[in-house]
Amino acid sequence: MKICIFGAGYVGLVAAACFAESGNTVIAVDIDETKIEGLKQGIIPIYEPGLKEMVLRNQSEGRLSFTTDSTAAIQASLVSFIAVGTPPGEDGSADLKYVLGVAREIGRAMTGFKIIVDKSTVPVGTADKVRDAIQHELALRGVDYEFDVVSNPEFLKEGAAIDDFMKPDRVVIGTDNVRTAELMKELYDPFMRKQNRMIVMDIRSAEMTKYAANAMLATRISFMNQIANLCERMGADVAAVREGIGSDSRIGYDFLFPGPGYGGSCFPKDVKALIRTAEECDYDFLLLKAVEDVNERQKEVLADKLIRELGSPDEEQPLTGRIIACWGLAFKPRTDDMREAPAITIIERLLAAGATVRVHDPEALKEAKKVFGERIEYSSSQYAILDGADALAIITDWNEYRNPDFDRIKGALKSPTIIDGRNLYKPQRMAAAGFRYIPLGRCGGGICEVK
């Protein structure tokens, strides 16, 4: 099938590579000329495991190409995917300017029947707006071509995006057109050969499904973070509690690890947008407001612990003279994405408290430099930043932090203090090794005292 994908970002580029991988002819369109020039030369603008190899292979075999020429791409394709950003507007609602901008481009360029697929995360009712925008442009041109707008929200996870796309848990298709549903099925068939995982529904329900999924996951995270904070105060161990509740098949084990709060390009903005959508219908989504509030507070927990541990309470900048080494900056492992990463809030707070901050991340240093500039010290060695530091704070659970050389850490730190925002280590083992180890919600059995 001939398809074009608007937006060569985390979603669009992955979708483009995966559709090309299954034999389609794919044109990826972006307005960012530098990005497209780079892609033409094989430079992948983001880090996503397996993506580079797949892009290069399909590019060299002629199935995947990159352009800024939207007109040519639209005219050459039967299906146009919209995978551009939907950032939060000032009031928290999803800003549809990029999505509707693409819709207008399609209306201006199309010369025959087209299927337009919304892959961006968009509020309920957006497909109608896309349809209206295209229709408006067609009317201005005085032409009347048939087209169909489909909702196909994307559920991939950064860091595992290729796998998620190639082996999806489900593909949600929102359409009221049987012929279009069949065509979408044809396009997605190669990704579900063992079992059909396509769920076809009406467009509004498909749009809502994406928000409901992200809101549910964000709720689980905030819930578990509060359970962890309570465990800490009650002398319970959240790791044991997680096992205890996860074993219930109605609950399950996923998304029950406490941490420094959710971040990334999706959960924060999608939670905000759903709250805003509810407000527009005069509905107060109390639960989600609390989820968001809890998350904002959770981003402060690591810095609070560091200040309690190392700070001089009377000073305005209680961490003056202290050096804090941070492991992990990306909002989760296996990505370089720092959008709304808890690390940003944590590090800003440490800087405001007077600390010197040194950071390591396997992939996100370049992104971090855009955020912090010269205000912090960067290293591509996870151990080099420890020399003479007062504490190590673990923010992102990259694999390389799971089994580190503890002797080396202890030898390098000024005082062997680790504040672990991801609960990577066994508290008893750390205590036995002489560390002052402060995880989240694991004070059961007197392992760490609560202050």
98 scored as a contact of ligand NAD (CB under 6 A): yes
Q: How far is the CB of 386 from ligand NAD (least distance, A)?
A: 32
Report if residue 156 touches ligand NAD, rule: CB under 6 A: yes
Rounded to 10°, the helix 203-234/238-246 angle is 140
Q: What is the DSSP letter of 256?
A: -
- Comparing CA positions, the residue from 439, 375, 386 lying closest to residue 414 is 386
CA contacts within 13 A on the Cβ side of 197: 16
Map tokens 């971090």 to a residue: 368
Phi, psi of 106 (to 5 degrees): -65, -45
How far is the C-alpha of 356 from the C-alpha of 390, rounded, in Å?
Answer: 10
Is residue 158 part of the contact set for ligand NAD (CB under 6 A)?
yes
Encoded tokens for 416? 């062997």
Stretch that binds ligand NAD, among 4-12, 139-147, 190-198, 288-296 (CB under 6 A): 4-12
Residue 120 or residue 180: which is nearer to ligand NAD going by CB? 120
> Residue 171 belongs to what H/E stretch?
strand 171-174
Nearer to ligand NAD by Cβ, of 7 and 261: the residue is 7
CB closer to ligand NAD out of 259 and 404? 259
Among 65, 121, 229, 295, binds ligand NAD (CB under 6 A): 121
By beta-carbon proximity to ligand NAD, the closer residue of 213 and 433 is 213
Is 266 among the residues known to form the active site? yes
Which amino acid, one-letter code, is at 439? P
Member of 48, 118, 148, 154 binding ligand NAD (CB under 6 A): 154
Among 65, 77, 93, 120, binds ligand NAD (CB under 6 A): 120
Closest C-alpha among 321, 440, 295 to residue 391? 321
Please state, in angstroms and rounded to a whole number, the distance separating the CA atoms of residues 66 and 31.
11
Which of these is catalytic: 266, 326, 443, 448? 266
Site string for ligand NAD, 252-271 (x = CB under 6 A): -------------xx-----
The amino acid at residue 401 is Y
- Residue 249 burial by Cβ neighbours in a 10 Å radius (0-12, 13-18, 19+): exposed
CB of 32 to ligand NAD, least distance (A): 4
CB of 140 to ligand NAD, least distance (A): 18
CB atoms within 10 A of CB 93: 19
Q: Assess 174 for contact with ligand NAD (CB under 6 A).
A: no
213 near ligand NAD, rule: CB under 6 A: no
- Least Cα distance to 121 among 146, 159, 85, 168 occurs for 85
CB of 262 to ligand NAD, least distance (A): 12
How far apart CA 2 and CA 9 sit, in angstroms, is 20
For ligand NAD, which is the closer residue by CB, 102 or 187? 102
Q: Which is nearer to ligand NAD, 158 or 336 (CB)?
A: 158
The residue from 3, 4, 8, 288 that contacts ligand NAD (CB under 6 A) is: 8
Q: Is residue 30 a contact residue for ligand NAD (CB under 6 A)?
A: yes
Q: 14: closest CA among 74, 81, 101? A: 81
Sole binder of ligand NAD in the list 3, 4, 7, 305 (CB under 6 A): 7
Q: Which residues touch 351 (CB under 8 Å, ≥6 apart)? A: 357, 375, 376
Q: By CB under 6 A, which span of 30-38, 180-188, 240-248, 303-311 interacts with ligand NAD? A: 30-38
* Residue from the set 85, 263, 328, 421 that interacts with ligand NAD by CB under 6 A: 85
User: Which residues in 31-70 contact ligand NAD (CB under 6 A)?
Assistant: 31-32, 35
Question: Does 246 interact with ligand NAD (rule: CB under 6 A)?
Answer: no
Determine the Cα–Cα distance for residues 16 and 313; give it in Å rounded to an integer. 54
Q: How far does Cα 312 stand from its chain's mean position? A: 36
What is the set of active-site residues? 266
The residues that touch ligand NAD, with contacts defined as CB under 6 A, are 6-12, 29-32, 35, 83-86, 98, 101-102, 120-121, 154, 156, 158, 265-266
